[in-house]
A = this chain, B = another copy of it.
Amino acid sequence: MNTHSSKPKHKSGRGSSDKRERILEAAIRVFAQGGFYATRVSDIAKEAGVADGTIYLYFENKDDVLISIFQDRIGKLIEVLREVAGRDEPVDERVRRIIELQLGLLEGRRDLAEVITVNLRQSSKLLKQYGAPLFTEYLELIASVIAEGQRSGVFREDVSSRVAARALWGGLDGLALTWALGGGDKDDASRDAALKKAAHQWGELFLDGLRGGTHHA
């Protein structure tokens, strides 16, 4: 449903389709290290412990591997997000969950963060063709929560819910980028904690800003 590749003839095979997963994980690691373009297909294969040709049993081509990473992960994220967005909780609480969710996806996965925030943009073609639809869906979901907050009077209405959604996502992506790029001086655990703290601050700033219009009067 959320996979794009038309290839996986296996799928149902028990131990077989975890090979697809293995390749995907290997690709995330090597893409994060060297970037999409600098990574050779044989690098992915070696990292996954399979032969070069095996990649092509599970993916159309190299592009498809990157796209699949994006689609698999974002697809899952959207699923959960949809549930969160529909919860019976105060909207600001739901916004906080969204933030945690987006960063939770990355929890301890600096490599995944780099692939999503950096690598995907290296190919504008891929980004536009495959990324845009999913990305738009994701943003619309966030925007709908904000819009609900606006209708209920919790959030200011002089800011477009879509603009706010984009800014929220962009801010998180900005934090993730710095986090991904940051050299390895500190240990992962403290880096994780730092990201979490930063995300919390950013969330409160955002929420206050979103409520802020009321104070203008």
Contacts and interface: CB of A to CB of B under 8 A. Distances in A.
Interface of A: 33-38, 114, 117-119, 121-125, 127-128, 131-132, 135, 139, 156, 158-160, 163-164, 166-175, 177-178, 181, 198, 201-202, 204-213, 215-216
Contacts of A169: 174
Name the residue among A34, A117, A171 with the largest chain B CB count within 10 angstroms. Answer: A171
A178 B120 CA distance: 12
Given A170-B173, A211-B212, 14 more contacts: A33-B124, A34-B124, A37-B122, A122-B123, A158-B201, A159-B201, A166-B174, A167-B175, A169-B174, A205-B210, A208-B208, A209-B210, A209-B212, A212-B212
State the oligomeric state as a number of copies.
4
Contacts of A114: 124
Contact of A38 (B118, B124, B132): B124
A128 B38 CA distance: 14
Contacts of A131: 181
Nearest to A202: B167
Given A167-B171, A167-B202, A122 B125 contact: no
A121 B213 CA distance: 34
Nearest to A206: B209
A63 to B, nearest CB: 11
A124 B211 CA distance: 37
A125 B210 contact: no
Contact of A198 (B35, B160, B207): B160
A35 to B, nearest CB: 3
Given A37-B123, A118-B121, A208 B215 contact: yes
A17 B125 CA distance: 32
22 contacts: A34-B124, A35-B122, A36-B122, A37-B123, A38-B125, A114-B124, A122-B124, A156-B208, A158-B201, A158-B204, A159-B205, A163-B201, A164-B202, A166-B171, A166-B175, A167-B205, A167-B206, A168-B171, A170-B171, A170-B173, A174-B174, A209-B209
